[in-house]
Amino acid sequence: MRFITPLSASEKNLLKLNQRDELTQRRLSALNSLHDSTKQKHLMLIVGEMKEITSARFAYKMIIKHLPDFPVMMNEDMYHRLCNRFSVEIEL
């Protein structure tokens, strides 16, 4: 019989930091692959729960709950279209 010792709090935090760095690297490499194309326009879809939308310096910034370190920037037109389309969901 083999027993697994539970992780200490510092070991858990270190594991979370390592996973966060790995996920950030994977996200950056996926985004960089969008810019590598020469003639074709590639799109990417983000699925997540919106945490907040705030005004930024020149546009609006949307924070996704599970991507707090990766804000999605929107221009004024995109912001108004988003608010018109999802007004009921945003109010919840």
Percent of the chain with pLDDT strictly greater than 70: 79
Instruction: Give the predicted TM-score (pTM) of the model.
Output: 0.65
Does the pLDDT of residue 15 top 70, yes or no?
no
Same domain, yes or no: 30 and 68 = no
Q: Which residues pair with 52 in a beta bridge?
A: 63
Same domain, yes or no: 30 and 57 = no
Same domain, yes or no: 28 and 70 = no
Please, what's the largest Cα pairwise distance for the chain? 62
Contact 47, 73 (CB under 8 A): no
Q: What is residue 2's predicted lDDT score, i.e. its pLDDT?
A: 45
How many structural domains are present in the chain?
2
Same domain, yes or no: 33 and 52 = no
**Residue 76 maps to a domain:** yes
Does the pLDDT of residue 45 top 70, yes or no?
yes
Q: Which of 67, 83, 82, 75 is nearest to 31 (CA)?
A: 67
- As a whole number of angstroms, the distance between CA 78 and CA 46 comes to 15
Q: What is residue 10's predicted lDDT score, i.e. its pLDDT?
A: 65
